[in-house]
Amino acid sequence: MSFIRSYLWDTLEKILSTFDCLLCLFDEFVFFCNSCFMPELPEVETVKVFLEKNVINEKTKSVKIENENLRFVITTNVSQILSNSTITKILRRGKYLLFLYNNNFTLLVHLGMTGFFRIERKYEFRKHDHLIFNFKKKKLIFNDVRKFGFVKIFNAKEILNCSHLKNLGPEPLSSKFCYEYFKNNLNRKTNIKNLLMNQSFVAGLGNIYCSEILFRSNIKPIRPINLIKDYEITKIVDSVKKILLNSIKLGGTTIKNFVVSDEKIGYFKNELMVYGRDGMGCFKCKNKIVKITQSGRSTFFCSQCQK
């Protein structure tokens, strides 16, 4: 009996300590989760919310550059400019993050394919750490395995006119992205998937969401845009907004499940209807999902449901 009691107690203690440990690492788990997938608009928005909670009004004591060789070399003036300044606001534009500082400088951040942030009280080096922001009681670390991401410093006045931001199309969740805007921009010679992927047409959509949006709209990704009917424009605009909003919402809820249940799956993986499902049955008609290559990128669709 005492053996059983002791065994149960040990087990309970183990479970509790694991749970406690998981809770402590909650913020890190959030970004491991993100790092499993390419950051598109909803993921960048989730990162933005995380940063708002953790680094707003925190004075940056110093910035250490562990490795300056990202997509663009990190200039040494980044650490000089940001030391002893305070982040007052975090903004998102498309897939870009903007850190606004109280000294009229703005740090432009792109997560690339695998970039993510984590917060630590005591810094522990991990492979592919590139940048460490030292605050009074914590550290913000930028890690990027494939180095497609970058950080660049700009004067606040120049930032909106920089080459990365000046040609970006409207935010898909804004009222600017609507039927009229879509209709007035169909004078390009391309197909619907490439149009949605084009950041100058609409900012923030990536390869995964484009496949999903077109499945929801019942439109084949290779369709030339001059053959898109008016009612289909409405359908696409609607799908863009619904899918993005749903994904942002899920980003905030199922991560908790991820932590508690320790399932090593991304939060929107369960929601994917076509992406990565080639050879498998369509959820609507059971027909096999097809994978093709468009402009060097994989596209997934159902030839039965999408015309």
Partner DNA sequence: AGGGCTACCTGTACGC
Partner DNA sequence: TGCGTACAGGTAGCCC
CA distance linking residue 185 with residue 166, whole number of Å: 18
Environment class of residue 50 by beta-carbon count within 10 Å: exposed (0-12), middle (13-18) or buried (19+)? Answer: buried
Asked if 190 is part of the footprint of DNA (rule: CB under 7 A), the reply reads yes
Q: By the 8 A CB rule, do 114 and 37 touch?
A: no
Asked if 194 is part of the footprint of DNA (rule: CB under 7 A), the reply reads yes
In the chain, the amino acid numbered 111 is L
Stretches 5-13, 173-181, 196-204, 261-269: which one binds DNA (CB under 7 A)? 196-204
Choose between 246 and 295: whose C-beta lies nearer to DNA: 295
Stretches 12-20, 109-117, 236-244, 245-253: which one binds DNA (CB under 7 A)? 109-117
Three-class SS state of 91:
strand
Q: By the 8 A CB rule, do 151 and 108 touch?
A: yes
Q: By the 8 A CB rule, do 48 and 90 touch?
A: yes
Determine which one of 95, 118, 152, 277 is catalytic. 95
Choose between 210 and 233: whose C-beta lies nearer to DNA: 210
Choose between 157 and 264: whose C-beta lies nearer to DNA: 264
CA distance linking residue 110 with residue 17, whole number of Å: 36
Q: For this structure, is 122 an active site residue?
A: no
Contact pattern for DNA over residues 50 through 79, marking x by CB under 7 A: -------------------x-x--------
Q: What's the sign of the alpha-carbon dihedral 154, 95, 72, 52?
A: positive
Binding residues (CB under 7 A) for DNA: these are 38, 40, 69, 71, 94-96, 110, 112-113, 127-128, 145-148, 163-164, 188-191, 194, 197-199, 206-208, 291, 293, 295-298
- Annotated catalytic residues are 39-40, 95, 297
